[in-house]
Amino acid sequence: MNNKKMELKKIKHTEKRLPGGAKILVLNTGAVIDPEADAMLQALHSRSTGGIKKHLKVLEEKGAKDFMSKFYVGYGHKSIGDCGSVTIFIEGVSMLAAKAIQDWPLYSGQESSTRYIDFAGQRFIDPVGSLDSGKILEGWRAFYLRGVKQMIPALKERFPIMDGEKEVLYEKAIGARAFDTMRGFLPGGTSTNLAWHSNLRQIADKLVELRHHPLEEVRNIAIGIERAVHKALPNSFDTTRYPETESYVKKYMKKYYYKDRKCPEFEVSADDIKVELLKEYRSEINSRPPKTELPKRISECGTMEFRFKLDFGSFRDIQRHRAVTQRMPLVTDSHGFGSWYLNEMTPKMRAEAKELLREQKKRTKDLNTEPETRQYYIPMGYELPNRLTGNLHALIYLVELRSTRFVHPTLRKVARKMASEINKRHGIKIHLDQNSDRFDTRRGEQDIVMK
């Protein structure tokens, strides 16, 4: 084990510091065959019947440097970039920036959970950087910390420990429920960490959009990632800019990226399911057991579109479903604060919360900055307009996963409404958690810790 520790210490990762203290780290796994070499081997294998050992010999003699710069970057064989992957760690960025990075159909990775972060000293991203903007952020922090302390005894009174339940899990579950309530008062500028695992092609494609994101923070992150991956894998990332492409992306990112139109509490805004085609799948639909996915080919039956209000805190969870298409909502305080968060509180806390929301709304407006920047100072409990489109396979997977007792109640409510409409319109059997509103101490098992 000591030898292993020494080997890890010798590995040099590629790091880039960003304005404001954020950090990018491109992980070096210490592999002898790195992502570029891996991609080269797969590409050579696709053009020859000589076998992999022949190509390993070529790699040993010539390396991957010239191959990747010539065939992947130079000749534009983009599929070669699908064959090598890398992990990027992004630390100390806002939740808004995290969602921007994750807003990609093929994103793979993890983000810090608000349930398991100590926000007493967590940094807030403050792009305005004034005394007033700082006071807004610290006002949210103070109420959050005070609220968590008050919620825990109130929740224990509502949900006393039951016979046979383990106290350690009960305490964790109570804490998670308190965090679920108070997270609604954390602002969008709350900092977080995330990891992005992707193939070389997807990183390059996503960076084109991130370079032109409406938020300066995200643009800086994109530049930092680009420099880091270019340093770590110099033969796989081309920094050439094509003016027409850059202009086109910049225009649509500015005009269409955020969605901020009024929408109903919930509605099916489009139902394009092919009823006749769906009949071919009836046997598979009706015989499907619980905890089993439908075959992906059912996707050919068409799509449904839903419009609904959902707070940003829960949007962070539903956005994890990459198989459906969603627009990024603009975080504003104009669509009302989620009633669930307020109803969970004691009467005294609720009165304090309402007064704070009124005061902070005025202070945020007085910052006199553009709507995109105001997102950093608006708490995640405000409801936002959402539009979601997906095929039947993706939708049924989503509603079954997000309707369980372990999911935040504001998202669970939307998921159950979606499930009801799918079932009512198309008679599709959906396996739902039938007791999803019950407080369950097993939520205390959902932490991730080394033992």
pLDDT over 50 (residue 347): yes
The single-letter code of the amino acid at 152 is: I
pLDDT band at 437 (very low <50, low <70, confident <90, very high): low
pLDDT band at 44 (very low <50, low <70, confident <90, very high): confident
pLDDT of 312 reads: 97
pLDDT band at 1 (very low <50, low <70, confident <90, very high): very low
pLDDT over 90 (residue 30): no
More confident residue, 372 or 240: 372
pLDDT digits (tens, 9 = 90+) for 49-91: 678 888 778 777 777 676 666 665 654 567 777 888 899 999 9
9's CB contacts (< 8 A; 6+ apart) are none
Alpha-carbon Rg of the chain, whole angstroms? 24
pLDDT of 435 reads: 65
CA distances from 13 to 31, 86, 88, 218 (A): 12, 12, 10, 22
- Strands across the sheet with 266-273, in order? 266-273, 302-311, 383-391, 325-326
pLDDT over 90 (residue 116): no
pLDDT over 90 (residue 388): yes
Burial letters 234-247, b for 16+ CB under 10 A, else e: ebbbeeeeeeeeee
For all residues of the chain together, what is the average pLDDT? 89
pTM reported for the whole predicted model: 0.90
pLDDT of 438 reads: 61
pLDDT mean over 353-360:
98
pLDDT digits (tens, 9 = 90+) for 317-332: 999 999 999 999 999 9
Is beta strand 266-273 parallel, antiparallel or unpaired with respect to 302-311? antiparallel
Kindly state the DSSP code that residue 383 receives in the 8-state scheme. E
191 - beta bridge partners? 94
More confident residue, 260 or 335: 335
Q: Which of 2-11, 26-35, 212-221, 354-363 is predicted with the least confidence, judged by mean pLDDT?
A: 2-11
- What angle is formed at CA 280 by the lines to CA 282 and CA 423, rounded to 5 degrees? 40
Residue 35 corresponds to which tokens in the numbers above?
């992502």
pLDDT of 382 reads: 98
pLDDT of 323 reads: 96
Burial letters 429-439, b for 16+ CB under 10 A, else e: ebebbeebeee
CATH architecture of 2-112+191-258: 2-Layer Sandwich (3.30)
Burial letters 135-171, b for 16+ CB under 10 A, else e: ebbebbbebbeebbebbbebbeeebeeeeeeeeebbe
Is 349 strand, coil or helix? helix
pLDDT band at 252 (very low <50, low <70, confident <90, very high): very high
Kindly state the DSSP code that residue 141 receives in the 8-state scheme. H
pLDDT digits (tens, 9 = 90+) for 395-430: 999 999 999 988 999 999 999 999 999 999 999 989
pLDDT digits (tens, 9 = 90+) for 267-318: 999 999 999 999 999 999 999 999 999 999 999 999 999 999 999 999 999 9
CA distances from 250 to 221, 246, 256, 339 (A): 16, 6, 10, 37
The single-letter code of the amino acid at 281 is: Y
pLDDT band at 40 (very low <50, low <70, confident <90, very high): confident
- How many whole angstroms from its chain centre is CA 105? 11
pLDDT of 2 reads: 54
Give the residue from 196, 307, 208 showing the smallest Cα distance to 262. Answer: 307
What's the rounded Cα separation, in Å, for the pair 163 and 60? 64
Residue 403 corresponds to which tokens in the numbers above?
């309707």
Domain spans in the chain, listed from the N-terminal domain onward: 2-112+191-258
